[in-house]
Amino acid sequence: METTIALREWAVAVKALEEGRQVIVLRKGGIAEETKEFRLESPRFYLFPSFEHQRPNLVIPEAAGGVEQTQAEAALTPGFVTVTSFAEVAEDLEVTDAETLKRLEGLHIWTEDYAEERLRWKKTKPLHVLVLRVYRLDEPRTIPMRDEYGGCKSWIELQDLSGSPLTPVLDDEQFRRQSEEVRNRIHR
């Protein structure tokens, strides 16, 4: 069976990406990363919803209900996880200062305090702002949750999930506008 790479991301962030409310994720790398920093392992990957560390107080009020909602949905299938989306990296931008990060406010669901905490962690390493073109799987895949899928790491290898047709979350123009807004705010 072919292995497939997936990026572990908070389930509430995956939901925001799938709803077109944001096109970015903020990455510094997990504690269990081999290199101790974030590295883009693949430009194309599945989004693997995780629940570790996500808390309602770490996201903006409009997204806080999504934390409980994603946890309740996951509780319906204990021991399994449902993969519902795929992403392609349009850009990997680096942010090294709080002023630039603050300009991204409103383009993601994390609170300003939490986003700054991510920036300050491993101070010598940049915060990666991945601009993602996200696609919904026409046929979501529910797979058994394995021990190796857990932990503080960005990348995991799943058994083959290919075959499901993909539908873009945003049309080309919507994606162009949102990704351009991210670039403009970072390079201001």
pLDDT 10s digits, 136-170: 999 999 999 888 888 777 898 987 676 778 999 99
Q: How confident is the model at residue 29 (pLDDT cuts 50, 70, 90)?
A: low
Domain count for the chain, please give it. Answer: 1
- Is-contact 115 101, C-beta < 8 A? yes
Q: Which structural domain range is residue 169 located in?
A: 3-186
Those residues whose C-beta lies under 8 Å from the C-beta of residue 94, and which sit 6 or more positions away, are 126, 127, 128, 129
Output 45 or 51, whichever has higher pLDDT: 45
Residue 30 has pLDDT above 70, yes or no: no
pLDDT of residue 122: 77
Burial class (CB in 10 A: 0-12, 13-18, 19+), 132: buried
Residue 33 has pLDDT above 80, yes or no: no
Percent of the chain with pLDDT over 90: 61
pLDDT of residue 151: 76
- Is-contact 66 16, C-beta < 8 A? yes
Dihedral, CA of residue 95, residue 32, residue 41 and residue 183, to nearest 10: -20
Residue 93: CB atoms within 10 A of its CB come to: 19
Looking at residue 11, which CATH number applies to its domain?
A: 2.30.130.30
Residue 106 has pLDDT above 90, yes or no: yes
Rounded to whole angstroms, the Cα distance separating 188 from 174 reads 21
Question: What is the model's pTM?
Answer: 0.91
* Average pLDDT of the residues of the chain: 89
> What's the rounded mean pLDDT across residues 64-76?
89
Output 129 or 34, whichever has higher pLDDT: 129
pLDDT of residue 63: 93
> What's the rounded mean pLDDT across residues 175-184?
97
pLDDT of residue 148: 84
> What's the rounded mean pLDDT across residues 39-67?
90
Q: How confident is the model at residue 1 (pLDDT cuts 50, 70, 90)?
A: very low
